[in-house]
């Protein structure tokens, strides 16, 4: 076996053997300025002769940012070196073979990274930023196979810590698939990356500052030796190819031409090949035939995206000349992520072999159109590959609810007017819309103001990139989410000279946040007193004059979280938020927190606020995955978003649940149907848009206590239909929606009702202020005694929202005014009161709170009360002080007596507490069987994550625990799923003692194989049931169902992989919670016997047929530019097939 040093020597020999275009070192830093580099000027500077990146705790980054070596450009094979040092509890790195990801935020880069990290295995490791994560840790030699499987072929047992505050040297040597990192002259990692899907073979160089704690990183003595310049034969669309032929070749001969070319990463769009030859020809790419013909007068073409791989590829053309002049002419066009085209044309850089002889450079005979091949012109090449014009989705392809009609009003010319993401209605019925990365436009729809056609005019205003627009107070309010030019914030646009034209832009509020999780919508309040602004979780909290939310938020996690890809790592509570302001941007009041990325909000006619919050699709099929969901945004609400695995489950009593869960998707615009000429049911509906899956749902709300429940109905759908916003136009009483975003093709549509039902205004219910609303009205009042009386009255309410509001009312009141009343209240009220004590950080009441929890535990709590009790205990220890040794013993005994209880959620919270209290042996003894026997992968992972931090194992228990990861490797989930499992396993392994590591060496060394198929229990065939027999059983009241048995069977047959029930399970199929209330016994039996007979459009697949006859079946789950990302296997939600929409012939 070769040592890393021998491998390095071999690699250096390989470097020396290359015909390099330059063998001199090129300095990347002049020691004085940032010339040749671009980045955020607030973060990067030159200090003490070094490039310096600094972040601050009071100005946390929303995401990792980079300083990009724009002066260098794209490089492939190279030798890079620099000196660096790092201060602060954070990390940095050097990016290479990377790409700038403008859609992900300002100065965001993805690709290979040589990591600068204090954790010894991570120092100088290879990390794939925004990609595959950790590929090789320090001390490892790794091979990544073509299918992406990572194998560690060598592993140093230990690597020493490095004092990063001192200067060190870092080198990167990259030649083809081979990469070496060196730290202080010693090999740190060696990798051979043959992953054809995800590797990168060329790209940019960049330096990183990492989100999270404050840091300072410095680089100097930076230089690069480029070993293989990237292909310079690039051009634009329509580049003119040349006729080429070997000089002095015989008249009748066979010539094999070849050309190597680079495909820069998996973010490219189409790769189109076209060409012809005199007389016959056969094109192949990487050894596979892709194109052939025998008529030189006809240029043939095809898209070869499926045949190319990232990095180097080889094109060969076998040409047979049967007499007379011979010639080949060809063009290859690679569509880059920014929609520019890299064109490679036939010229003298190609190689030609005559009748099997040596390769020679062919002679250029002339450009397309020369004699004797005058019929072969540039136009012939432009027409060779049948590309469809990517227009907005035609109206006839859109499915709408019965009785409704959708019409396409305007297909947006992308080059001129961009991709629209937001719009609002002006009183005259016209619209104002915004391009995500460009300007604002005024739209007069067909039929409005007697317009015979829809007209669009750019507003002459220095403002754009809006994700929030509303007309209010005789002004246009604009919320900018910085894309490229304009700073994030809330702006007011007015007509200062009263000439009827908007002319003055004023920033009211500056907001720190960008990317797709920054500031979003702005909505007028129903009473006309102000505006509500919606901010995603990358938006830094601003100063508020008042707050309905007690400003005591924290992470509140009893055990440290784990991470997958690490998106939003370092972004603290409270996450996304919604606030209210007056028309001048003043008197700001915080309304609610704990969102992930809610894009829009809407008030119903009774003053209740709603939003549609995003999921983290990378977390699908983990226990902390939360589906996209509609939230009733009550005053002071907290919805529990935290980063990584720290998201609060919906049962946590210190947060509020959704009113309806939807599933995977990308929430965008929402609006109530008030003012439409629709039937009453649809006038009252809340319309919510899903960008990813092309759905607009009508959510029909029903009162449920002091909140609502929602019933979903698909209202509008198509594939693709990337919905961005929806509004009601009161002038024509129609519903308008837009599609666009991420530079995809954009359009404007109108929905009208053409059915026979009455469209008279819907009857309104009498508004009566309920207990929750009464409590909320007191939060900021000057009469605390009235607030206290009302709060104590409802502190034990059986309505969750009222009980939540009562607790918030207490938290707005000094603790000494109400803590003494808790002893006289009922169990539910006492549990709520203890939570208020803990969240008020009343450390002086810690002993009283614990004593009351001890008394409550003796009363025989119900399952819901037990969950409240467990959460109270967590919060008391987290906020009021860690337990003493005697308290640990006391609560260990108390918890252990009822663990496990058989209640899935109480058991996981109990296990977390037992691990926290260091009752490790008991936690392992009881928790490990729960993990191994749990029916769902989510539940198993939940227990595994808690147990990873436990000690007190026997070797047998440790073996069973680590062997479970081989079973879990067959489970499927989102893009972070396997990385969560890997990190849980790693963190558990890190806690092993030296003796345990020796005993478990063979177990730990065996890497889980994630290519293993999903395992299910094969059950014995009993009989073929008819739907009549099943219906009879369902409707038989004498049959007592056993929920525990049903849940176990649901897991054994892998139903939980797709379907959600009672808050657990997958989210890629219909949620079956409450299904008995939605369908009768006959319908249920029919679905059991023949589950595919009726499939909701929400989950149905689409079949795409390309211009070349390829058939792809699946659901569009993401889009970027002209690329569709199609989910072809619902059981593997992170696996996508890419399709250029310009190649779609029909769907």
Judge whether residue 5 has pLDDT over 90: no
Backbone angles phi, psi at 1117, to 5 degrees: -115, -10
Q: Comparing 376 with 1028, which gets the higher pLDDT?
A: 376
In a 3-state reduction of DSSP, which class is residue 492?
A: strand
Residue 6: C-alpha distances to residues 1, 14, 157 (Å) = 10, 12, 19
What is the average pLDDT across 299-324? 90
pLDDT of amino acid 228: 56
Residue 612: C-alpha distances to residues 696, 891, 1116 (Å) = 12, 40, 20
Give the model's confidence band at 20: pLDDT under 50 very low, under 70 low, under 90 confident, else very high.
Answer: very low
Q: How far apart are the first and last CA of the chain?
A: 53
Question: Is omega for the bond preceding 720 within 30 degrees of 0, making it cis?
Answer: yes
pLDDT of amino acid 684: 97
Judge whether residue 535 has pLDDT over 90: yes
Residue 493: C-alpha distances to residues 464, 501, 1120 (Å) = 11, 10, 31
Give the model's confidence band at 1105: pLDDT under 50 very low, under 70 low, under 90 confident, else very high.
Answer: low
What angle do the packed helices 920-933 and 937-947 form, to 10 degrees?
A: 160
Residue 118: C-alpha distances to residues 85, 93, 159 (Å) = 11, 11, 12
pLDDT of amino acid 110: 92
What is the average pLDDT across 200-214? 92
pLDDT in tens, 136-153: 999 999 988 888 888 888
Backbone angles phi, psi at 10, to 5 degrees: -60, -40
Give the β-pairing of 747-753 and 404-411: antiparallel
Q: Comparing 851 with 12, which gets the higher pLDDT?
A: 851
The C-alpha atoms of residue 489 and residue 499 are separated, in whole angstroms, by 27
The C-alpha atoms of residue 350 and residue 257 are separated, in whole angstroms, by 7
pLDDT in tens, 929-979: 999 999 899 999 999 999 999 999 999 999 999 999 999 988 888 889 999
Tell me the CATH number of domain 242-382, given options 2.60.120.10, 2.60.120.260, 3.40.50.300, 2.30.140.10: 2.60.120.260
Can you say whether residue 28 is alpha, beta or left, with left for phi > 0 and alpha for psi between -120 and 50 degrees?
alpha
What is the average pLDDT across 794-799? 96
Q: Are 925 and 892 in contact (CB under 8 A)?
A: no
Residue 188: C-alpha distances to residues 185, 227, 1005, 1142 (Å) = 9, 21, 20, 45
What is the average pLDDT across 1029-1048? 70
Among 82-91, 514-523, 1021-1030, which stretch is predicted with the lowest mean pLDDT? 1021-1030
Task: Calculate what percentage of the chain has a pLDDT beyond 90.
Answer: 68
The C-alpha atoms of residue 903 and residue 651 are separated, in whole angstroms, by 12
The CATH number of the domain covering residues in 4-228: 2.60.120.560
Give the model's confidence band at 309: pLDDT under 50 very low, under 70 low, under 90 confident, else very high.
Answer: confident
From the list 81, 51, 111, 246, the residue with the least C-alpha distance to 173 is 81
pLDDT of amino acid 1094: 56
Give the model's confidence band at 1104: pLDDT under 50 very low, under 70 low, under 90 confident, else very high.
Answer: low
Backbone angles phi, psi at 135, to 5 degrees: -110, -35
What is the average pLDDT across 202-219? 94
Give the model's confidence band at 1055: pLDDT under 50 very low, under 70 low, under 90 confident, else very high.
Answer: confident
DSSP string covering 550-583 = -S------SS----SS-TTTTPPTT-EEEEEE-T
Residue 31: C-alpha distances to residues 67, 87, 92, 218, 892 (Å) = 15, 20, 20, 12, 60
Domain 4-228 identical in fold to domain 242-382:
yes
Instruction: Label residues 986-1019 b or e (16+ Cβ within 10 Å = b).
Output: eebbeebeeebeeebeebbeeebebeeeeeeeee
Instruction: Label residues 688-717 b or e (16+ Cβ within 10 Å = b).
Output: bbbbbbbbbbbbbbeeeebbbbbebeebbb
Residue 75: C-alpha distances to residues 26, 116, 432 (Å) = 13, 22, 43
Question: Is omega for the bond preceding 5 within 30 degrees of 0, making it cis?
Answer: no
pLDDT of amino acid 1050: 67
pLDDT in tens, 670-713: 999 999 999 999 999 999 999 998 999 999 999 999 999 999 99
CB contact set of 10 (below 8 Å; sequence gap of 6+): 2
What is the average pLDDT across 1111-1121? 67
Give the β-pairing of 589-595 and 546-547: parallel
Judge whether residue 1023 has pLDDT over 80: no
Question: Is omega for the bond preceding 900 within 30 degrees of 0, making it cis?
Answer: yes
Among 203-212, 510-519, 752-761, 826-835, which stretch is predicted with the lowest mean pLDDT? 510-519
pLDDT in tens, 61-75: 989 999 999 888 888
pLDDT of amino acid 9: 42
Task: Calculate what percentage of the chain has a pLDDT beyond 70.
Answer: 86
Give the β-pairing of 637-638 and 589-595: parallel
The C-alpha atoms of residue 695 and residue 1127 are separated, in whole angstroms, by 16
Among 639-653, 885-899, 962-976, which stretch is predicted with the lowest mean pLDDT? 962-976
pLDDT of amino acid 1141: 62
What is the average pLDDT across 1063-1087? 61
pLDDT of amino acid 972: 86
pLDDT in tens, 473-511: 999 999 999 877 899 999 999 999 999 999 999 999 999
pLDDT of amino acid 734: 98
DSSP string covering 985-1043 = HHHHHHT--HHHHHHTHHHHHS---TTSPPP-PPPPP-----HHHHHHHHT-TT----H
Question: Is omega for the bond preceding 279 within 30 degrees of 0, making it cis?
Answer: yes
DSSP string covering 721-756 = --EEEEEEETTTTEEEEEE--TT---EEEEEEE-SS
Q: Are 932 and 900 in contact (CB under 8 A)?
A: no
pLDDT of amino acid 884: 97
Backbone angles phi, psi at 455, to 5 degrees: -120, 145
What is the average pLDDT across 242-263? 93
From the list 493, 517, 491, the residue with the least C-alpha distance to 503 is 493
pLDDT of amino acid 541: 96
Q: Comparing 414 with 43, which gets the higher pLDDT?
A: 43
pLDDT of amino acid 641: 97
Radius of gyration of the chain (CA): 32
Give the model's confidence band at 232: pLDDT under 50 very low, under 70 low, under 90 confident, else very high.
Answer: very low
- CA pseudo-torsion sign 606, 608, 614, 615: negative
Among 96-105, 124-133, 271-280, 839-848, which stretch is predicted with the lowest mean pLDDT? 96-105
Give the model's confidence band at 870: pLDDT under 50 very low, under 70 low, under 90 confident, else very high.
Answer: very high
The C-alpha atoms of residue 1036 and residue 219 are separated, in whole angstroms, by 75
The C-alpha atoms of residue 427 and residue 928 are separated, in whole angstroms, by 64
The C-alpha atoms of residue 452 and residue 444 are separated, in whole angstroms, by 10
Give the model's confidence band at 1008: pLDDT under 50 very low, under 70 low, under 90 confident, else very high.
Answer: confident
Instruction: Label residues 881-896 b or e (16+ Cβ within 10 Å = b).
Output: eebeeebbeebbebbb
How many helices (H) does the chain have, and how many strands (E)?
A: 21, 62
The C-alpha atoms of residue 572 and residue 669 are separated, in whole angstroms, by 26
Residue ranges with strand state E in 495-643: 504-510, 519-524, 531-535, 546-547, 576-581, 589-595, 601-603, 609-613, 628-633, 637-638
- Report long-range pairs for 1005-1012 (Cβ below 8 Å, ≥24 apart): 1006/966, 1007/150, 1007/151, 1007/152, 1008/965, 1008/966, 1008/968, 1008/969, 1008/981, 1009/149, 1009/966, 1009/969, 1010/149, 1010/969, 1010/970, 1010/978, 1011/147, 1011/149, 1012/966, 1012/969, 1012/970
pLDDT of amino acid 1079: 58
- Report long-range pairs for 1010-1016 (Cβ below 8 Å, ≥24 apart): 1010/149, 1010/969, 1010/970, 1010/978, 1011/147, 1011/149, 1012/966, 1012/969, 1012/970, 1013/970, 1014/970, 1014/971, 1014/972, 1014/1054, 1014/1057, 1014/1131, 1015/967, 1015/970, 1016/1052, 1016/1053, 1016/1054
The C-alpha atoms of residue 1135 and residue 1128 are separated, in whole angstroms, by 8
Judge whether residue 118 has pLDDT over 60: yes
What is the average pLDDT across 150-160? 86
Q: Are 668 and 721 in contact (CB under 8 A)?
A: no
Residue 418: C-alpha distances to residues 9, 413, 458, 1116, 1122 (Å) = 52, 7, 11, 22, 13
What is the average pLDDT across 799-816? 97
The CATH number of the domain covering residues in 1102-1146: 2.30.30
The C-alpha atoms of residue 308 and residue 795 are separated, in whole angstroms, by 64
Residue 936 CA to its chain's centroid (Å): 24
CB contact set of 858 (below 8 Å; sequence gap of 6+): none
H-run or E-run covering 487 = none
Domain regions of the chain by residue span: 4-228, 242-382, 395-753, 1102-1146
The C-alpha atoms of residue 241 and residue 380 are separated, in whole angstroms, by 11
pLDDT of amino acid 766: 61
Tell me the CATH number of domain 395-753, given options 2.60.40.2700, 2.120.10.30, 1.10.490.10, 3.40.50.720: 2.120.10.30
Mean pLDDT of the chain: 88
The C-alpha atoms of residue 184 and residue 195 are separated, in whole angstroms, by 29
């Amino acid at each position: 076996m070769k040592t890393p040093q021998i491998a390095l020597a071999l690699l250096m020999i390989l470097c020396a053997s290359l015909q390099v275009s330059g063998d001199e070192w090129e300095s990347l830093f002049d020691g004085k300025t940032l010339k040749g580099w671009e980045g955020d000027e607030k973060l990067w500077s030159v200090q003490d002769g070094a490039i310096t990146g600094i972040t601050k705790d009071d100005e946390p980054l929303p995401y990792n940012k980079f300083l990009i070596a724009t002066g260098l450009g794209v490089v492939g094979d190279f030798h890079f070196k620099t000196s660096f040092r790092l201060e602060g509890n954070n990390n940095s790195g050097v990016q290479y073979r990377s790409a700038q990801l403008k859609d992900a935020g300002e100065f965001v880069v993805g690709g290979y990274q040589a990591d600068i990290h204090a954790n010894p295995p991570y120092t100088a490791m290879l990390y794939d930023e925004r990609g595959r994560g950790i590929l090789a840790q320090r001390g490892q030699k790794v091979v990544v196979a073509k299918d992406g499987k990572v194998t560690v072929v060598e592993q140093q047992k230990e690597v020493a810590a490095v004092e990063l505050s001192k200067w060190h040297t870092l080198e990167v040597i990259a030649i083809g698939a081979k990469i070496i990192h060196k730290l202080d002259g010693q090999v740190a990692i060696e990798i051979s990356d043959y992953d054809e899907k995800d590797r990168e073979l060329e790209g940019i160089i960049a330096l990183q500052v990492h989100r999270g704690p404050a840091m300072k990183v410095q680089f100097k003595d930076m230089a690069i030796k480029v070993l293989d310049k990237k292909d310079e034969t690039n051009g634009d669309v329509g580049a003119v190819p040349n006729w080429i032929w070997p000089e002095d070749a015989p008249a009748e001969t066979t010539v094999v031409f070849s050309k190597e070319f680079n495909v820069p990463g998996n973010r490219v769009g189409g790769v189109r090949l076209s060409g012809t030859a005199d007389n016959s020809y056969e094109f192949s790419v990487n050894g596979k035939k892709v194109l052939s013909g025998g008529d030189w007068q006809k240029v043939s073409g095809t898209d070869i995206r499926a045949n190319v791989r990232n990095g180097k590829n080889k094109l060969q053309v076998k040409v047979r000349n049967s007499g007379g002049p011979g010639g080949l002419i060809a063009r290859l066009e690679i569509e880059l992520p920014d929609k520019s085209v890299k064109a490679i044309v036939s010229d003298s850089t190609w190689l030609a072999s005559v009748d099997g002889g040596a390769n020679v450079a062919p002679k250029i005979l002339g450009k397309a159109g020369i004699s004797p091949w005058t019929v072969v012109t540039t136009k012939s090449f432009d027409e060779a590959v049948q590309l469809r014009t990517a227009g907005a989705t035609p109206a006839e392809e859109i499915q709408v609810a019965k009785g409704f009609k959708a019409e396409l009003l305007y297909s947006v010319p992308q080059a001129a007017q961009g991709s629209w993401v937001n719009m609002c209605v002006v009183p005259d019925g016209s619209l104002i819309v915004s391009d995500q990365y460009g300007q604002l436009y005024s739209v007069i729809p067909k039929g409005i103001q007697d317009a015979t056609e829809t007209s669009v005019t750019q507003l002459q205003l220095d403002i754009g990139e809006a994700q929030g627009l509303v007309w209010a107070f005789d002004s246009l309010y604009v919320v900018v989410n910085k894309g490229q030019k304009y700073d994030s914030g809330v702006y007011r646009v007015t007509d200062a000279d009263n000439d009827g034209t908007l002319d003055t832009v004023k920033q009211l509020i500056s907001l720190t946040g960008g990317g797709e999780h920054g500031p979003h919508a702005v909505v007028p309040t129903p009473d006309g007193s102000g505006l509500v602004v919606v901010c995603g979780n990358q938006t830094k909290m601003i100063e508020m004059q008042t707050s309905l939310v007690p400003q005591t938020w924290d992470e509140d996690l009893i055990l440290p979280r784990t991470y997958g890809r690490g998106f939003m790592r370092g972004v603290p509570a409270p996450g996304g938020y919604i606030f209210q302001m007056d028309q001048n941007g003043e008197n700001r009041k915080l309304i609610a927190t704990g969102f992930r990325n809610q894009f829009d909000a809407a008030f119903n006619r009774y003053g209740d606020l709603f939003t549609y919050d995003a999921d983290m699709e990378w977390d699908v099929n983990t226990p902390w995955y939360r589906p996209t969901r509609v939230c009733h945004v009550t005053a002071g609400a907290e919805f529990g978003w935290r980063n990584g695995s720290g998201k609060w489950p919906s049962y946590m009593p210190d947060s509020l649940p959704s009113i309806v869960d939807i599933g995977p998707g990308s929430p965008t615009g929402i609006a109530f149907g008030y003012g439409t000429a629709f039937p009453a049911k649809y006038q009252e509906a809340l319309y919510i848009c899903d960008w990813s899956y092309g759905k607009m749902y009508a959510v029909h709300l029903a009162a449920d206590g002091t909140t609502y429940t929602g019933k979903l109905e698909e209202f509008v759908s198509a594939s693709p239909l990337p919905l961005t916003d929806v509004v009601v136009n009161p002038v024509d009483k129609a519903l308008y929606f837009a599609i666009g975003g991420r530079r995809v093709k954009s359009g404007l549509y109108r929905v009208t009702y053409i059915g026979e039902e009455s469209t008279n205004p819907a009857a309104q219910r009498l508004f009566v202020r309920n207990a929750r609303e009464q409590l909320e009205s007191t939060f900021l009042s000057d009469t605390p005694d009235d607030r206290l009386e009302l709060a104590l009255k409802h502190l034990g309410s059986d309505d969750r929202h009222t009980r939540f509001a009562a607790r918030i009312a207490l938290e707005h009141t000094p603790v000494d005014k109400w803590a003494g009343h808790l002893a006289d209240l009922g169990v539910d009220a006492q549990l709520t009161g203890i939570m208020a004590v803990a969240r008020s950080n009343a450390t002086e009441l810690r002993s009283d709170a614990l004593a009351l929890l001890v008394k409550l535990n003796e009363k025989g709590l119900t399952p819901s009360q037990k969950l409240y009790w467990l959460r109270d205990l967590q919060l008391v220890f987290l906020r009021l002080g860690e337990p003493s040794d005697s308290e640990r013993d006391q609560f260990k005994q108390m918890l252990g007596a009822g663990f496990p209880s058989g209640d899935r959620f109480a058991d996981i919270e109990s296990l977390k507490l037992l691990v926290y209290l260091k009752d490790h042996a008991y936690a392992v003894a009881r928790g490990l069987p729960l993990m191994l026997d749990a029916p769902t992968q989510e539940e198993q992972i939940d227990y595994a994550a808690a147990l990873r931090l436990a000690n007190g194992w026997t070797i047998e228990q440790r073996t069973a625990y680590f062997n479970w990861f081989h079973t879990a490797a067959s489970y499927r989930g989102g893009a972070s799923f396997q990385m969560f499992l890997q990190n849980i396993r790693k963190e558990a392994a890190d806690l092993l003692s030296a003796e345990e590591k020796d005993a478990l060496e063979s177990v730990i060394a065996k890497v889980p194989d994630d290519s293993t198929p999903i395992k299910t229990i094969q059950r014995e065939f009993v009989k073929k049931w008819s739907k009549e027999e099943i219906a009879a059983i369902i409707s038989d009241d004498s049959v007592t169902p056993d929920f525990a048995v049903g849940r176990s069977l649901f897991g054994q047959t892998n139903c939980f992989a797709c379907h959600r029930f009672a808050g657990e399970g997958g989210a890629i199929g219909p949620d079956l919670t409450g299904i008995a209330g939605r369908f009768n016994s006959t319908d249920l039996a029919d679905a059991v016997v023949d589950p595919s007979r009726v499939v909701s459009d929400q989950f149905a697949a689409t079949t795409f047929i390309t211009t070349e006859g390829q058939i792809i079946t699946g659901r569009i789950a993401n889009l970027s530019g002209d690329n569709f990302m199609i989910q072809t296997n619902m059981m593997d939600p992170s696996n996508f097939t890419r399709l250029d929409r310009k190649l779609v012939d029909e769907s």
